[in-house]
Amino acid sequence: MKEVNQIIEQLKKKKYKPVYFLSGDEAFFIDKISNYIEKNILPEEAKSFDQMLLYGMDVNVQELVLQARRFPMIGDKQVIIIKEAQHLFRKKAETDAFESYLNNPAENTILVFNYKYKKIDKRKKIFKLIQEKGVYFEAKRLYENETLNWIVSTAKEMSYEIDLKSAQMLLDFLGTDLSKIYNELDKLSLLLPKNSRITPETIEINIGISKEFNNFELKSAIALGNYHKAQNIINYFSSNPKEHAIASILPLLYNFFRDLFIYHSLNDQSKFSVARALKINPYFYQEYQRAAIIYPMKKVTKNIGYLRKADMQSKGVDAGNMTHKDILNELIFKLMH
């Protein structure tokens, strides 16, 4: 996130590089940089003449180099953005052609490669040349705790405040897909006044995630040993199977007890040590601290076994006539007794 902001800050200052090679698994960050360049480098009147959008499946590097060597028609810069650039460099001749270009890149051209879900071999000469002449950016997927912090900081950039519980609701419902989360926050920005607070109630009303019946509340109920609440949530989930499929519930519970297993294994169980080990926000430390009392190591081990069995049953193995609702109700009972 920090590197993305640094690249965009340099672009805002008009400190341009001839090549921006945007690679990696998190498409959201690649798109953020690429979209900024597409929208902001050239004035509108120049874009029709000096901005090109190409696709890796439709062009080869030799053709691209020829385009990069031409002079702008109106201004002093041209921008060439290559979407799906992961389809380039399939042949050695293409790599050689680009290495040759990088040795003497055109000063009036900005080349942007959207090289999604792949990375260049960092042992190769081409990688060193990109780093030397341009910007090489590798977008890595965020861990859950990093995604949680990203939600809070992104809301702040939009001039909103969001508490960690509300952020966790979004994370549990949408997963770590940053594009989906951003789109929901963007929708909220159209509905809420600036500088207001995004709450569980806000999310329930505008996004449709129940503030009482969601993955966050289920995990919390189990962590605190509140069987009645956990059962009510499971019953609600079972009545809304499309939105709360068993395939999304079981991994959540498995990850919780796996983390609790790690918690019990730690020599240092202080707040920040646990947060680092479990890759969680320190805000959730007390939940694990209390859960560790309710679920000692022996019980945690049994529960992981129950979860594995439930996973097999959900796939039809040794399930008999049990429905997903039956599997979940039996599982919750076993986990909490």
pLDDT at 271 over 80: yes
Domain range 144-206, CATH class = mainly alpha
Q: Is the pLDDT of residue 166 over 80?
A: yes
Fold of 2-139: Rossmann fold (3.40.50)
Phi, psi of 211 (to 5 degrees): -75, -15
Which residues are 20's β-sheet partners? 112, 135
- Of 259, 209, 258, nearest to 237 by C-alpha is 209
Q: In the predicted model, what is the mean pLDDT of residues 295-303? A: 96
In this predicted structure, the answer to whether residue 1 has a pLDDT above a threshold of 90 is no
pLDDT digits (tens, 9 = 90+) for 59-104: 999 999 999 999 999 889 999 999 999 999 988 999 999 999 999 9
Buried-state track 126-156, b at ≥16 Cβ within 10 A, e below 16 = bbebbeebbbbbbbeebebbebbebbbebbe
What are all long-range contacts of 308-315, with beta carbons under 8 Å and residues at least 24 apart?
Answer: 308/254, 310/250, 311/250, 311/254, 314/246, 314/247, 314/250
Residue 227 CA to residue 172 CA, distance in Å, equals 20
Span 119-127, mean pLDDT? 90
pLDDT at 305 over 80: yes
Query: Can you give the residue ranges of every domain in the chain?
Result: 2-139, 144-206, 215-336
pLDDT tens digit sequence for 177-200: 899 999 999 989 988 999 999 998
Q: Is the model's pLDDT at 237 over the cut of 80?
A: yes
- Average predicted confidence (pLDDT) for the chain: 92
Average pLDDT over residues 12-41: 96
For 256, residues 6+ apart whose C-beta sits below 8 A from its C-beta are 219, 222, 223, 291
pLDDT score of 40: 96
Mean pLDDT value across residues 143-158: 90
CATH 3.40.1160.10 fits 215-336, yes or no: no
Q: Is 43 exposed, middle or buried (0-12, 13-18, 19+ CB in 10 A)?
A: exposed
* Domain pair 2-139 / 144-206, same fold: no
pLDDT in the model for residue 183: 92
**Can you give the pLDDT at residue 184?**
92
Locus of tokens 């999304």? 248
Grade residue 239 by pLDDT with cuts at 50, 70 and 90: confident
Q: What is the pLDDT of residue 174?
A: 84
Least confident among 65-69, 98-102, 281-285, 286-290: 281-285
Could you give the residue ranges of the DSSP H alpha helices within 134-284? Answer: 144-157, 164-174, 178-191, 200-206, 215-223, 227-239, 246-265, 271-278
Q: Look at residue 244 in the predicted model and tell me its pLDDT.
A: 81
Residue 106 is predicted with a pLDDT of: 95
